[in-house]
Structure formats: C-alpha cells, structure tokens
Structure 1
Amino acid sequence: MIKTKEKERIALEFKEKMDYDELLNCMRCGFCLPSCPTYIESGMDEAHSPRGRIAMMKAVVDGDIEPNDDVKRSLDLCLGCRACEPVCPSGVKYGHLLEQSRDIIYQNNKQSLPVKAVRSMVFHNLFPKQNRIINATSLLGFYQRSGLQKIARKSGIMNFFPDTLKSMEKVLPTVPKKKQLKSRPTHLLPLQNQKKKVAFFSGCLMDTIFMSTNDATMKLLRYAGCEIVIPNTQNCCGALHGHSGERNKAKELAKKNILAFEKAQVDYIITNAGGCGAFLVDYDYLLKDDPEWKERATEFSSKIKDITSVLLELDFHKERLSLPDQIVTYQDSCHLKNGQKTFMEPRKLLQSIQGVTYVEMEDASRCCGSAGIYNIVESEMSMRILDSKMEQTKKTNAKTVVTANPGCLLQMNLGIEREGLTRSIRAVHIVDLLLEAYETSNHTQ
C-alpha cells in the first residue's frame, strides 16, 4: 500500500520527471484500445488501456488525482508490449512513459522486506553478474540430470507450486553443464566468404538456459559469411531493470555494454532475443540526459540488428533451405516488432524454406503474455492472454510454432503443455529452425 508521504514524493517526482509533452501527445482517440491485450482481457476496462493509463499519469502530474494503489495496479498490470505504439496516429512513446512512471513509483514506494529482498537479489545480485547466472542455471541443470526432477514429479512436491510454475518446470530446456557454460567463444571466423564483421550480444539467460540457440545463431552467421566478435565483458542488457522501476541500474548496465562493444569495430551488433534487442536499441533514449554517454549510446544503438534482419540482408533466404513437409506459423515477439520494427524479415525467411507451408496466425503480433517475468507476477492475466493465443494457434493447424524471443518461446511451450498438445505441436526459436533447414539441405553438421 502506498502511504501518504510516499504519495507526496511520487506526485512531486511525476511533476519533475514525467515527459509532459509526451503525455499531451495522446489525443485520446482510442486507436490503441483494440491492440491492448489487458484492455481486451479485462472486459474493456479503460483503466487497463494505454489511453487510460496515460490519462492517469497526466492526472497525477496535474494534481487531479493521487498516485494511489489503483494507479500503481493499472501500471503493474500493463504488459509493456508496446502494441499501442505502431497504431498511434500521434506517435506517442508509451513505452517510455510507462518506464518513467514505474521507476518513480517503485523508487518511492517502500517495499515489504520479502519483496525488497527478492528485488535486490534479482535486480542487483543476479542478473548483473553473469557468473552468478551461470551458477544458478548450473543448479537447474543438476536438478534436471541428477534424477531430482523425476523424484520431484513423482513425489507430488510440484503440486505445492502454482499451476503456472508447475507447468513451466516441464517446458524448460535442458541446461548445459557448468563447464560448457563457462567455455564460450570470443571470436569466430566465417564458414563462407566473409561479407560482414559483426559482434554478437549473447545476453544472460540466452547464453545459459538457451545456450544451444545462441550456438545456432553464431553458426548461422558464420554460414552467412560473418566474422563474429563476442566481447566477454558484456552483461545483461538491463531490460528487466528498465521495465521494473530500476532505471538507474539499467543505465549502469547500458554503460558497461557500450564499453564492451565500442572497441569491436564491427558493422552490426547482432541480437537474437526480441526483448533484449528493443532495449539495446533504446540505449540512446535511456542515456539521452548524460552528456558523457549520449553520443556513445546513439552510436551503439545504431548498430543493433536482429539476426533475422542481417540474414535477410545477406541473402540467406536464397540458400538451399528445406525441411520435411509441415505447416509452420509465426508468433511475433512484441519487442522485436514494436521496438525494433522487425516484422517481415522472419516471415520471409520462413517462407523461403522448401517443404514448409507457412500459415499466418490471426493476431500474430498480439502479446502471448510472457513479458519478462509478467507470467510469474501476473499469472492470472498472463494465462488468460495465453489461452486466447493458443486458440489462434490451433486454428492454423500448424505443427511448428516459431518465435524470436526466449520468453515467448517458453510461453508458447507453456501453452502447448497446458493444452495437452506436446505430441502434436512444437515451439522453436527461428534460428534453430533455420539451422535445421540449412543443415538438412546442405548435409552439414
């Protein structure tokens, strides 16, 4: 609960820090409403729409309402998918307003000791430190390989966990051994004639839990003619922090990443996670008020490119790509589409694979409900959104659901598990499918 003194501090900082011009850009036209999952799933509650949230932000700045628990609840329930931005005729940067408002509230609202401890552990002591992520995921790998997982499932221990976490435990990928997690490459040469020199943003969870997808990404880049530099001083992109009211920590992580990549002298910095990529592209905004880092952040952001974009640019879709006959559909990563403006590239690559019948999913760009840790902290709304997504998925009759973000991949696998469709539908990251298609056609291992 937000106390009186906290409300006063929050209201003051809203007046001082919120971008009032951006708030005024909203014309209240309502074009954003059909694109907002929480507005739709809440029964068209205006308080859970982009327009409604912006109105509340402005009302707090104007002193018309207090920044109370209802305001905080509305902002917390937002997925941050930014689907409202492409359809906004005024071009309102809703994502920036959401981050500003959450940061002000969370930095001034005193948390309970358990919540404070969890936030400190996650935001300050885990994600900024890759070695700790490696240690944590190594424990998960041990749990999977040692037999503890089978014991936990057979004993009924998992029944004490919420249904979402219980199902998620089943769909987590197998984690590599600690030795593999620590033996990561820093420089790779192309396997074809060199066309580009790129750097690879390996990420934190992508280079641990999803390490095989990172390996597939680097292999594809090498097949496409890229020399790859992987700076070993890079760290978490800061997206989780920026979206959760920890902007100062996000800025700290951004500066470390800029330093790590500045000396690489590359054409592009490649990402394979839509959420990470969208936040990296926004480093120029994140550090716009810092004279020392503004230009450096702009230079860094200008080089960010999703793996699908660079593969299309290098004509990878003209390579021999084939798979056994199957129907494939694609679920957009919200931040890849709305943040990085990458929409057609994944579709063109999928449509270039011989043997694939591509079927466009209805509302493919509507959020799946993953949104970082949203599916854990807002499980009820997340599952309602996921159930709607699975209805659209089943209509395609696809046997393979493709996405381009680790959170989306887990969420779609979670939906497949919940629907009892694990024997008939698989969810894969696009780079894993493209590598499979390339190596199937070229008999390369």
Structure 2
Amino acid sequence: MNSTHEKLAQSLKLTLDEDQLTNCMRCGFCQTACPTFIETGLEAASPRGRIALMKAVVDGLMEPDESFRSQMDLCLGCRACEPACPSDVKYGQLIEQTRAAIAAEKPYSMPVRIVRKTFLQGVFPHRRRLKLIGKTLSFYQKSGLQKFARNSGAMKLFPDHLQQLEQALPDVSGDGLEELWSKAGFPYRRETTDSGSGLMVIPAAGDTVGRVGMFRGCIMDVMFAPTNVNTVRLLRQAGFEIVIPEEQVCCGALHAHAGEMGDAKQLAGRNIWAFGEANVDYIASNAGGCGALLKEYDHLMRAEPDERLSQAAVRFADQVKDISELLHNLGRPLEPIHAEAGKDDAAVAVTYQDSCHLRNVMRVQEEPRQLMSQLPGVQLCELQGAEVCCGSAGIYNLTQTEMSTTLLDHKMEHVEATGAKVIVTSNPGCLLQMKWGIERAGLQNGVEAVHLADFLAKQVRMEDQLD
C-alpha cells in the first residue's frame, strides 16, 4: 500500500462510524432505491456495496485506491436508501465521513482545488460576494451580453451540458429577499438583538399564529430571490410573523457534501447563533437540500467541546420546518383564488418531483402534494419515479455529467407520460435540473418548471400583491 493510500486508510479508520458500518445487514433493500445501482446494476454502486468497500478498507482488506474513490464520488448522496433500510443505517453520515477523509488525505488536482477554494471558501460564506455574483448575472442577462453570447456562437466553446444549463438559468434580479421586499413597499420593521445584530421583521397578515425565522439561503437568494419573496408572502398570509436575521450565512450543505466538515461546522455555528438571538418558534426552509442539513445540525455539532453550542444545535434542528409543513400543518388555511374552478376539463395538469433531501431526510412528501391537491383547478398527476433523484445533487450535474444526464433523461420520459404542463419541485437545484431537462427534451413551448412557493403564490389570495 503506497503512503497516500495508507494515510487515507488510517483516516477512514478514525473517521468512519463503526456502529453504522456493522449495522448494515446486507439485505439489499437499499438497492431498489439507489439510482446509481438501478442504472449500472453494479454491487459497488449500491449503498450496500459502498458500505462493504468502506468496511473492507477499515478492516485492512483493500486499499482506498482510485476505484474506491470513484465509487464514493459516483454516489448522489440522495439518501433514498435510508427510508428503505430496515436497520436504519445512517448511510448519509457514512458517505460524508468518507468524503471528508478523502478531502483531507488525498489532495485534489490543482484546478479542482482552486475551484473548491474559490467557491466553498471564497464565495458561499460571504453574502456580499454572492450578491456581486447576482448583480453580475443580472447585468449579463439584461445588458445584451447573454443575447450576444448565444447569437455569436460563443457559447459553443463550452460543453453541451453547460450550454443547456445556461439556457435554463432563471432571470436574476440582482437583489436579495430584503431588498425586493422593501422595494415592493410591503410592511416590515427593523429590530436589533441584545448583541446588536439586525433583524428584518415582517408582521403576519391578521392574527399571529407563530414567529418564524426565514432561512434565505445563498443560491436561493441570488438566483431565486423572487421565490423567497413568495415564500414570505405565503407565510405571512398563513398567519406567521417572519423574522430575517441579517447575520445568517450559507447552511454549509455544499461544504458537508464535499467533505469540508470544518467549514460546514463554522457556518452552522453562525446560523445557530443568529437564529437563536431572533427568538423564533420555527425556522422556515424552502430548499430541500438546505433544510436537510439544517435539520441535522444536531448531528453535525454533536462533538463540539462547547456544550452550550451542541445543545443549541439540538434546539435549532428541532425548529427547522419546510414551508409546506408550516403552511399545511401549522398555519391558517390559504384561500384559493379560483374558488369555482375545478372541472377536470379546465384543470391545469401538474406533476411533482420530490426533492431527495426533503423526502429522505426531512421525511416530507405528502404536505406539498396535499397543498396542491386542495387547489380548485389543479389536477395533480403523480409522477412515476418521483422519489428517484433527478441527477442534480448539488454540483453532481457538473462533476458526474454522464450519470446526471442519464437520470434526467429518464425523468423527463416519465414527465412526458403524465401529460403535465407544470413540473413543481421544492429545491433550487432540482428546479434548475428540471429546467435543463425541459431544454434537453425540447419541451420549452409546452412545459414549465416552477418552485412550490411560486406555484402556490399564483393560486391563493394574498394581502401583498406583486405588480
């Protein structure tokens, strides 16, 4: 065993949770839930197979060579195996621990290291830099540069999948949630916590049923800020007072998935402190990937030497709710606009693609469907394989393009079979992936992909009306 492999093997022995490794009974229930196993049929590409590989390295039976690393990288991290597992193996924890060990002991190539450092450390943790990216994208789209790049053939310098992803980009405003809300003239006030950090507080429409901290996210607030606005409008209409802590940062999900656990913990600590000071009943997430990690801050911070921080993480995780949970289970009922509609021949055909982390980690799947099914004039068409990952998985569609596009193309075949005109989902990555799928399938003129919050905002009466 060469020195690099030996160091990685030792790191895995110290990092991997032995209890979780031995909990796997090798029953195989996870295989029918695993997208990469379904596509390849390879045992090593299944959760059971990957756990066997991890255990073989820990037991000294194999080297953590390139084939080992490639199978860990091929995993989507969708965690569909966890609900299917009768032994409740925490596979998500194992794959993140493995990737953390790989990131620490086996250096990436220089280009990959530059990209990781630039985005994971230089961009996502810093809101001002994220806003600058948003302003730059907005300028690119509105100045004519985007049109020039497409018409001049400059985009052909990029791989096909990047060209298609560029076509699927939403219109970016350049402003975040707070800026769009204040520019719209909607009601809010400013408050200051005991430590001097700022809060934007938006009153409930009517009687208040609870105080909710809004997690605005990083990608959500750059590329999908109008969706954040619609989320707040819906929560306000349902009777929630909404609090937006200025000091909140990126959730750390991309860092955790990439094995940068130290950075993920630092970001988690800042969020736990920011929302703790806001004195809220719940913490609202409208992005399945973000919500899943927020929900697992207790696990992420369990070994922190500061006991107060680990205890605060438990409380934080317990407060995290997806917006569909808040709207369906805890808020006042929303009033549909089309109260008299609902005939099948006039109904809009809609299908729903589950966010993997919302379904498999937060265990939310019925609330979004029920919110849509209760709307007159909406015909919900269940999507075959809605529980299967669409292939987005953070930056998976950039790092594992072949597998990602294979999963996406199969997904779009099932979408076409529903006859739906609208694809609804609950995560920004999934939304971009479905928009890309529409481009790949040539369905731009007949099908659209929207976030659940945006779909609901067009279907219910709200006090805050957008122009």
Tell me by how many angstroms 1:192 deviates: 2.2
Quote the residue 2:192 is aligned against: none
Distance change in 2, residues 1:359/1:389 (3 Å): same
Tell me by how many angstroms 1:264 deviates: 1.3
Quote the residue 1:14 is aligned against: 12
Alpha-carbon contact 2:239-2:331 (below 8 Å) kept: no
**Counterpart code for 1:295:** Q
Quote the residue 1:28 is aligned against: 26
Alpha-carbon contact 1:329-1:401 (below 8 Å) kept: yes
Tell me by how many angstroms 1:4 deviates: 2.3
Map 1:317-396 to 2 at 5 A.
Answer: 317=333, 319-322=335-338, 325-396=347-418
Alpha-carbon contact 1:325-1:355 (below 8 Å) kept: yes
Structure 2 gap ranges (5+): 183-199
2:138 matches 1:141: yes
Map 1:306-321 to 2 at 5 A.
Answer: 306-314=322-330, 316-317=332-333, 319-321=335-337
Quote the residue 1:291 is aligned against: 305
Aligned equivalents of 1:37 and 1:316: distance in 2?
38
**Identity percentage of aligned residues:** 48
Aligned equivalents of 1:150 and 1:285: distance in 2?
46
1:123-165 CA-partner distances (Å, limit 9, x unpaired): 1101111111111121111110000001100111111111111
Alpha-carbon contact 2:283-2:321 (below 8 Å) kept: yes
**Counterpart code for 1:15:** K
Q: Helix, strand or coil for the counterpart of 2:61?
A: coil
Tell me by how many angstroms 1:26 deviates: 0.5
Distance change in 2, residues 1:321/1:348 (3 Å): farther
**Counterpart code for 2:298:** D
Tell me by how many angstroms 1:430 deviates: 0.5
Q: Helix, strand or coil for the counterpart of 2:459?
A: helix
**Counterpart code for 2:86:** P
2:254 matches 1:256: no
Superposition TM-score, scaled by structure 2 size: 0.92
Give the RMSD, CA atoms, in angstroms: 1.7
Alpha-carbon contact 2:136-2:174 (below 8 Å) kept: no
Structure 1 gap ranges (5+): none
Distance change in 2, residues 1:180/1:369 (3 Å): closer
Aligned equivalents of 1:246 and 1:281: distance in 2?
18
Quote the residue 2:185 is aligned against: none
2:299 matches 1:301: no
Tell me by how many angstroms 1:296 deviates: 1.0
Distance change in 2, residues 1:119/1:184 (3 Å): farther
Quote the residue 1:116 is aligned against: 113
Distance change in 2, residues 1:369/1:413 (3 Å): same
Tell me by how many angstroms 1:183 deviates: 6.3
Aligned equivalents of 1:257 and 1:41: distance in 2?
38
In the alignment, which of 168, 172, 175 is matched to residue 169 of structure 2?
172
Distance change in 2, residues 1:399/1:183 (3 Å): closer
Map 1:69-218 to 2 at 5 A.
Answer: 69-178=66-175, 186-218=200-232
Alpha-carbon contact 1:48-1:74 (below 8 Å) kept: yes
2:422 matches 1:424: no
Aligned equivalents of 2:127 and 2:385: distance in 1?
36
Q: Helix, strand or coil for the counterpart of 1:354?
A: coil
1:226-248 CA-partner distances (Å, limit 9, x unpaired): 11110000000000000001001
Distance change in 2, residues 1:106/1:442 (3 Å): closer
2:55 matches 1:58: yes
**Counterpart code for 1:221:** L
1:245-271 CA-partner distances (Å, limit 9, x unpaired): 100100000001001111111110000
Tell me by how many angstroms 1:410 deviates: 0.5
2:60 matches 1:46: no
Tell me by how many angstroms 1:112 deviates: 2.0
Aligned equivalents of 1:267 and 1:411: distance in 2?
33
Q: Helix, strand or coil for the counterpart of 1:206?
A: helix
Tell me by how many angstroms 1:181 deviates: 7.3
Aligned equivalents of 2:203 and 2:447: distance in 1?
36
